[in-house]
Amino acid sequence: MPVEVTWYLEDRIIYSKYSGNVTIEDVRNGTQQVKKFAYQGTPLVHNIANMLEIETFPKNLRQIRNAIEQLDNNILGWTVIINRNKLLRFIVSTVSQLARARFLIFDNQEDALAFLYRMDASLPKQANR
């Protein structure tokens, strides 16, 4: 399955994992799932998007931007992307600027979580998974 969405920290941090050959439809479905989780959570809800296992990803920036639903900035906090692929980092960075969203890219989950905890002191402390 190219995208799986669960809670990393119930009601506060969403965990999205993308893998394999990701299509525009997968991006759209993943965004819709994140939106559903975010509106069920306690604001600000953050999203960790693990993209380390992606093999292929759409390259059309307009299609990607159109597939990403804009979420209310009073509900969705930061989306932190975990990825080391330079092309995918460029695509994600460009699309996030076009979407005017709060995105940052990290090489690993530990750095992404540390950032979220620095940015949002209201997050309850929890041991890393």
* Ranges 4-8, 59-63, 114-118: which has the least confidence: 59-63
Q: How much is the pTM?
A: 0.90
Q: What does the alpha-carbon distance between residue 10 and residue 19 come to, in Å, rounded to a whole number?
A: 23
Model confidence pLDDT, tens digit, residues 14-59: 999 999 999 999 999 999 999 999 999 999 999 999 999 999 999 9
Burial of 129 (0-12, 13-18, 19+ CB in 10 A): exposed
Q: What CATH number does the domain located at 3-73+87-119 have?
A: 3.30.750.24
User: Does the pLDDT value for residue 68 go beyond 90?
Assistant: no
For the chain, give the mean pLDDT.
91
Strand partners, 9: 13
